[in-house]
Chain A
Amino acid sequence: DGGITQSPKYLFRKEGQNVTLSCEQNLNHDAMYWYRQDPGQGLRLIYYSQIVNDFQKGDIAEGYSVSREKKESFPLTVTSAQKNPTAFYLCASSTDRALEAFFGQGTRLTVV
C-alpha cells in the first residue's frame, strides 16, 4: 500500500536534547513538508523540500533542521534551540505541483 509513515507516534524529550522525527513515503512524490500544530490551532510550515538535496525554510524554521538525502525520506530534527517544542508534528508529501498533499498520522512531541 502506498502512503506516508511517521514515527514514532509519541516522543518525549528532555530539555536540552535534540530529537529526530522520521517521515517516509512510498508515493514517489517529489515534494515533502513538515508542519507544526499546537492545540486547537492550524498548521504552521516548518520546512519543505521540492527535490532531493534541496529544502527551504517555512514560516517557523528556527530551532529545527531537516535533510533530504533520499526522495523517500525527510527527517526533522528538533534541536535544543527550539524553546517550546511540545506540539503535534505532521509530515506531508505531494507531487511537484502541491495539488493534493498526503499526510502521515503525526508525531506528538512532549518535553519532560
Chain B
Amino acid sequence: SQQGEEDPQALSIQEGENATMNCSYKTSINNLQWYRQNSGRGLVHLILIRSNEREKHSGRLRVTLDTSKKSSSLLITASRAADTASYFCATEAAAGNKLTFGGGTRVLVKP
C-alpha cells in the first residue's frame, strides 16, 4: 500500500493561475518531499519539509505540513506551461530510510 495519497488526481489550469495539490499520509514521518515527473522521465526533487517545520518556500513553490492531520500541500504560484507534469509526494517514515511515494497529481497548464 502507498503511504501518501495525492488529491486531486488531475488538475487543469490556465497559465498564470495558482495550482494547489494535497498529500495525505498514514504513519509518522521524518520528512516529506515533493517531486516532479515529466512524461516518461525520471523524477526530480523539488522541496523537502521536515516533520518539525510547518511551511517552506522555494521560488514559486510553497509547501505546508500539518503533522496532526498527516497532510501536506504544494502550491505552485503563477503557473507556466512548462509546469505541466505529474507531482508526487514522498515520505520518509520515522522508522527508517524507506522512501514511499503517493499516486501523484497530473497538472496541465494551458497557455
A contact set with B: CB distance below 8 Å: 31, 33, 35, 40-45, 48, 50, 56, 58-59, 88, 90, 92, 94, 96-106, 108
Task: Please report the C-alpha to C-alpha distance between residue A35 and residue B6 in the assembled complex, in whole angstroms.
Answer: 18
Most chain B beta-carbon neighbours within 10 Å: one of A48, A101, A108: A101
| B81 proximal to A (CB < 8 A) | no
What's the least CB distance linking A84 to chain B, in Å? 18
Closest chain A residue, CB of each to CB of B2: A42
- Determine if A98 and B88 form an interchain contact, defined as CB atoms under 8 angstroms apart: no
| B24 proximal to A (CB < 8 A) | no
Stretch in B52-60, B64-72, B91-99 with 4+ CB within 8 Å of A: B91-99
Given contacts A105-B41, A105-B42, A106-B42, contact A43 B88 (CB under 8 A): yes
| B45 proximal to A (CB < 8 A) | yes
- Determine if B97 and A42 form an interchain contact, defined as CB atoms under 8 angstroms apart: no
Mask of B36-55 contacts with A, CB within 8 angstroms, 1/0: 00001111110010000000
Q: How many A-B residue pairs have CB under 8 A?
A: 72
Closest chain B residue, CB of each to CB of A44: B2
- Determine if A99 and B48 form an interchain contact, defined as CB atoms under 8 angstroms apart: yes
Given contacts A41-B103, A42-B88, A42-B103, contact A103 B42 (CB under 8 A): yes
* Neighbour of A98 across the interface among B6, B43, B92, B102, CB < 8 A: B92
- Determine if A99 and B2 form an interchain contact, defined as CB atoms under 8 angstroms apart: no
Complex interface: chain B residues within 8 A of A40 (CB): 106
- Determine if B31 and A99 form an interchain contact, defined as CB atoms under 8 angstroms apart: yes
- Determine if A97 and B88 form an interchain contact, defined as CB atoms under 8 angstroms apart: no
